């Protein structure tokens, strides 16, 4: 099993061990486009792994701060109070780069950049780049993906 994320199509596809496309979801990747440099707010390309799964059994719309549940549940009223906040909701799949010097170690390290596949407010559009570098999904979709993939699932992020 592996995950493929197409930046051009803003789509995450789960591929079975036989190479068949099992599931596919619209996502939102970085508004700044593709890039590996720390501080770029870009989505890193190349080969990665799901290094950690965070949030199992948390309620939908759980707000995470520094990868920990904050005790709050996302609501429009809360969003109105913090309009510029980058909401990380429901579940987190924390990615680690697999290509030394490209997306692993130094100033291009995906894990140290805190790049996740995570839930976001369901009113935000999918299928268009708008995130701060992460791969954002609808909350029901990230729950489904989270339950299907184990830690160390390979993830390929490509521009095609």
The 10s digit of each residue's pLDDT in 65-109 is: 999 999 999 998 998 999 888 999 999 999 999 999 999 999 999
Q: Which secondary structure element, helix H or strand E, spans residue 117, and what is its range?
A: strand 116-119
Q: How far apart are CA 46 and CA 56, in angstroms?
A: 27
pTM exceeds cut of 0.75: yes
Residue pair 63/87 in contact (Cβ under 8 Å)? The answer is yes
Q: Which helix (H) or strand (E) holds 47?
A: strand 46-54
Distance CA 111, CA 51 (A): 8
2-158: what fold?
Answer: L,D-transpeptidase catalytic domain-like (2.40.440)
Q: pLDDT grade, residue 15 (50/70/90)? A: very high
For the chain, the C-alpha Rg in angstroms (whole number) is 15
């Amino acid at each position: 099993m592996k995950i493929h994320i197409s930046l051009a199509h803003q789509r995450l596809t789960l591929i079975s061990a036989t190479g068949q496309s099992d599931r596919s979801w619209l996502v939102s990747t970085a508004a700044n486009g593709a890039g590996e440099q720390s501080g770029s707010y870009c989505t890193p390309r190349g080969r990665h792994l799901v290094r950690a799964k965070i949030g199992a059994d948390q309620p939908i719309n759980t707000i995470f701060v520094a990868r920990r549940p904050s005790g709050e549940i996302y609501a429009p009223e809360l969003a109105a109070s913090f309009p510029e906040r980058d909401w990380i909701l429901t579940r987190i799949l924390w990615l680690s780069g697999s290509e030394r010097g490209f997306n692993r170690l130094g100033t291009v390290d995906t894990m140290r950049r805190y790049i996740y596949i995570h839930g976001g407010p369901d009113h935000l559009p999918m299928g268009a780049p708008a995130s701060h570098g992460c791969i954002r999904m609808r909350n029901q979709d990230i729950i489904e993906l989270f339950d299907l993939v184990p830690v160390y699932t390979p993830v390929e992020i490509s521009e095609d």
